[in-house]
Structure formats: C-alpha cells, structure tokens
Structure 1
C-alpha cells in the first residue's frame, strides 16, 4: 500500500513539472522580443564616445 502511494506521489510531481514546463514554453512563445533585455519597459544601451 505504501508503494502505491509513492507511485501516485511521483506521478503527481511529474505532472506538475510537465505542466510548468509547458506553461513556460507557451508564455515565452507569445513574446515577440527577448524579454531579458527589457527592464521596466525601457531599453538600456551603452554609448561609447570615441574622440
């Protein structure tokens, strides 16, 4: 009986991980741009002044 409960628990953990991965993939697919470079909706760039 204890073995059966562990298998059910393992299956539930597996389902939670798969659902999480699917949600991460589908939420990133909606973004047209890479959101790693956006901070608060503003773009940051380094401008080098060459003289």
Structure 2
C-alpha cells in the first residue's frame, strides 16, 4: 500500500472506533453499571494487518 492510502485507512478505523466508543457502551451486568462493554477496540486491533 502507498503511504497515503495506509494513513487514510488508519484514520478511518480510528474514526470508526471513536463512533463505536460513543454509541456502544452498555452495562455487562445490570446491577453493576460501572462495568461496561465497549467495542471500540475492534477497529484498532485491525490496524496491524494493513
């Protein structure tokens, strides 16, 4: 990949991660609201494969 294309893909994955961080937090256990599941790590974990 060219350098600019790789930078663009990483920026898009970072933006997707930020959006997922805002909308996908929900409590794992209803009684313990401080324990939240967050899916924002998934796009960031794909970065080394690009």
TM-score, length basis structure 2 = 0.48
Larger helix fraction of residues: 1
Tell me the TM-score normalised to structure 1 length: 0.47
> Which structure has the larger Rg over C-alpha atoms?
1
